[in-house]
């Protein structure tokens, strides 16, 4: 017996999918019509049965058992709206993913249809990367990545490996993560790759690696990033995110690296957390070194990435798998999200654009309400929020903001040639000589684990840290 189906989206992808189902699905599905907000009559002799808000009524009236979402250019907000209506209708749904080949060449097949993922819920329609630009940056260059085993670092490794660098110098303190990364790259036998265990806080170790491998381009992704943990351990945040950054950035200048790319965060804007403050100071360090050395120092600032270690998405998924509760800090809290591959794609584009001294700010799209996202993720897992899976409000944690900013009013974003990349300057207003001496004092005190003095000095550099 055929399954009665509905296609969401009467555009090119939806029409191609309809023909694919009619010709190649072995009579498995009986498509009864389209849902579309813009088209109101017929497409391919199929009726338009309503708009997105009509999905529950159409499903019930037509006896629909499966819905195909065929809008590969859809923003995450639209996908979440469709999932919400499908959940109300208690109907099974599948999606055509955002793939460059689909968007560019209208290549759609039933084989591509899959369950909805968190990337679909939060991501944006992807843009085709400018392969020539990235290749001109990477090909035949010695590329070093710190924090190579981390979420951003490992994706940098994977994408850069496709553009024929002469060497990949992978530096991280996390032995298990480096082992896993090594296994991922094991088949790339023609790629010269070096897995180096080391701590960015160890200046001698950092200097020896630069001396031995002479990197042309350095991506500095190593950092402590968890806000509440760093609030409890401010001296460690200073040692890793400031001292470590200083060590790597200094070596880049002394060993004539062409470009140094510092991975920053939206939490560096008007920071109220130790983690954010250390990243703001890291930005100031690389901008200072850009005036001293021939190396082109660049920072790239963006918000949360989906699926990174310890981030909200895998946390929610674990909580749902255990039957809840899903813990939300505050019902009004919002965050920016970006997929890890998209973030890294834009980091590489920024690295190409940079001529030294810039802070690039990535367009993060629309901010997401965390409570709404938690509810949608519960529905995506086949449950009803508040009924099958409880949601528990636990309160804002130390160092957290209700919403993140990507720049201050003083920094003023400027457009670049890429429509998802903007440029600004760090807003720390302090003379370079004083900044460097203050950082040296900060590092010295942090090495004695004097947390109270650390906080006092940081608040002198960054007014938003005064509590």
- What is the structure's pLDDT at 104? 47
8 A C-beta contact, residue 153 and residue 146? yes
- What is the structure's pLDDT at 103? 46
* Cα–Cα distance for residue pair 383/107, rounded to 1 Å: 33
Do 169 and 112 lie in one domain? The reply is no
Q: At what angle do helices 151-161 and 175-184 cross, to 10 degrees?
A: 30
> For the chain, what percent of residues have pLDDT higher than 70?
91
Do 185 and 58 lie in one domain? The reply is no
Does residue 205 fall inside a structural domain?
yes
pTM of the model: 0.80
Average pLDDT, the chain: 87
Q: At what angle do helices 76-89 and 55-62 cross, to 10 degrees?
A: 40
Does residue 251 fall inside a structural domain?
yes
Spatial neighbors of 446 by CB under 8 A, at least 6 apart, are 234, 235, 236, 238, 239, 242, 243, 454
Q: What is the pLDDT of residues 199-212, one digit of tens each?
A: 999 999 999 999 99
Strand partners, 314: none
Domain total in the chain: 2
Do 308 and 393 lie in one domain? The reply is yes
Q: For residue 463, what are its two tokens?
A: 């007014």
Does residue 114 fall inside a structural domain?
yes
Does residue 465 fall inside a structural domain?
no
Q: How many residues does the chain have?
A: 467
Does residue 63 fall inside a structural domain?
yes
| Alpha helix stretches (DSSP H) within 90-233 | 100-105, 118-122, 131-138, 151-161, 175-184, 203-213, 227-232
Do 284 and 333 lie in one domain? The reply is yes
Cα separations (Å) of 431 from 46, 192, 201, 273? Answer: 68, 42, 25, 23
| Alpha helix stretches (DSSP H) within 214-329 | 227-232, 234-237, 244-254, 274-292, 312-321
CATH of residue 267: 3.40.50.720
Do 383 and 235 lie in one domain? The reply is yes
* Cα–Cα distance for residue pair 460/13, rounded to 1 Å: 56
Instruction: Tell which of 76, 98, 122 closes a domain.
Output: 122
Phi, psi angle pair for 335, to nearest 5°: -145, 155
Do 88 and 59 lie in one domain? The reply is yes
Q: What is the pLDDT of residues 162-211, one digit of tens each?
A: 999 999 999 999 999 999 999 999 999 899 999 999 999 999 999 999 99
Task: Count Cα neighbours of 76 within 13 Å in the Cβ-side half-sphere.
Answer: 24
Do 239 and 344 lie in one domain? The reply is yes
Do 136 and 105 lie in one domain? The reply is no
For residues 21-34, average pLDDT: 82
Do 39 and 21 lie in one domain? The reply is yes
8 A C-beta contact, residue 336 and residue 392? no
Instruction: Tell which of 59, 90, 122 closes a domain.
Output: 122
CB burial of residue 448 (10 Å; 0-12, 13-18, 19+): exposed
Does residue 393 fall inside a structural domain?
yes
Q: How many CB atoms lie within 10 A of CB 458?
A: 23
Helix or strand holding residue 193 (H, E):
strand 193-197
Task: Count Cα neighbours of 99 within 13 Å in the Cβ-side half-sphere.
Answer: 15
- What is the structure's pLDDT at 107? 59
Does residue 464 fall inside a structural domain?
no
Do 272 and 417 lie in one domain? The reply is yes
Q: What is the pLDDT of residues 335-384, one digit of tens each?
A: 877 788 888 989 999 999 999 999 999 887 777 888 988 898 888 888 88
Task: Say whether pLDDT at 442 is over 80.
Answer: yes
Catalytic residues: 267
Task: Say whether pLDDT at 41 is over 80.
Answer: no
Does residue 434 fall inside a structural domain?
no
Do 299 and 189 lie in one domain? The reply is yes
Q: What is the pLDDT of residues 254-269, one digit of tens each?
A: 999 999 999 999 899 8
Q: What is the pLDDT of residues 408-420, one digit of tens each?
A: 555 567 888 887 8
* Cα–Cα distance for residue pair 388/324, rounded to 1 Å: 9
Q: For residue 187, what are its two tokens?
A: 């088949």
Task: Count Cα neighbours of 116 within 13 Å in the Cβ-side half-sphere.
Answer: 32
Instruction: Tell which of 93, 122, 151 closes a domain.
Output: 122
Residue with tokens 């509760």: 325
Do 188 and 286 lie in one domain? The reply is yes
Q: What range does the domain containing 244 cover?
A: 131-424
């Amino acid at each position: 017996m055929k399954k009665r189906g509905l296609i969401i989206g009467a555009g090119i992808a939806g029409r191609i999918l309809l023909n694919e189902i009619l010709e190649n699905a072995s009579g498995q599905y009986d498509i009864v019509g389209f849902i579309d907000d813009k088209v109101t009559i017929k497409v391919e002799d199929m009726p338009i049965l309503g708009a997105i808000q009509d999905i529950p009524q159409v499903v019930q009236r037509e006896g629909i058992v499966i819905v195909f979402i065929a809008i590969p250019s859809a923003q995450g907000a639209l996908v979440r709206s469709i999932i919400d209506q499908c959940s109300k209708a208690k109907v099974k749904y599948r999606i055509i993913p955002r793939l460059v080949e689909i968007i560019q060449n209208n290549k759609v097949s039933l084989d591509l249809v899959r369950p909805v993922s968190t990337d679909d819920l939060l991501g944006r329609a992807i843009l085709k990367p400018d392969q020539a630009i990235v290749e001109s940056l990477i090909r035949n260059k010695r590329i070093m990545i710190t924090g190579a085993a981390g979420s951003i670092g490992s994706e940098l490794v994977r994408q850069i490996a496709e553009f024929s660098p002469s060497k990949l110098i992978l530096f991280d303190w996390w032995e298990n993560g480096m082992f896993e990364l090594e296994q991922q790259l094991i088949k790339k036998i023609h790629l010269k790759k070096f897995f180096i265990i080391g701590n960015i806080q160890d200046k001698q170790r950092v200097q020896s690696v630069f001396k031995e491998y002479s990197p042309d381009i350095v991506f500095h992704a190593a950092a402590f990033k968890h806000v509440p943990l760093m609030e409890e351990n401010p001296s460690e945040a200073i040692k890793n995110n400031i001292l470590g950054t200083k060590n790597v950035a200094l070596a880049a200048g002394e060993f004539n690296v062409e470009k140094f790319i510092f991975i920053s965060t939206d939490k560096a804007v008007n920071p109220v957390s130790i983690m954010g403050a250390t990243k703001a100071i890291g930005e100031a360090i690389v901008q200072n070194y850009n005036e001293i050395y021939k190396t082109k120092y660049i920072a790239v600032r963006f918000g949360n990435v989906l699926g990174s270690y310890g981030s909200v998405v895998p946390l929610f998924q674990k909580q749902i798998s255990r039957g809840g509760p899903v813990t939300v800090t505050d019902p009004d809290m919002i965050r920016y999200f970006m997929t890890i591959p998209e973030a890294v794609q834009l980091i590489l584009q920024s690295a190409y654009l940079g001529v030294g001294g810039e802070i690039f700010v990535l367009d993060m799209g629309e901010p997401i309400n965390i409570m709404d996202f938690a509810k949608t993720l519960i529905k995506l897992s086949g449950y009803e929020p508040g009924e099958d899976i409880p949601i528990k409000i636990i309160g804002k944690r130390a160092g957290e903001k209700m919403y993140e900013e990507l720049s201050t009013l003083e920094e003023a974003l400027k457009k670049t040639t890429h429509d998802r990349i903007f440029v600004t300057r760090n807003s720390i207003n302090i003379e370079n000589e004083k900044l460097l001496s203050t950082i040296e004092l900060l590092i010295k005190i942090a090495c004695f684990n004097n947390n109270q003095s650390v906080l006092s000095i940081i608040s002198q550099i960054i007014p938003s840290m005064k509590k």
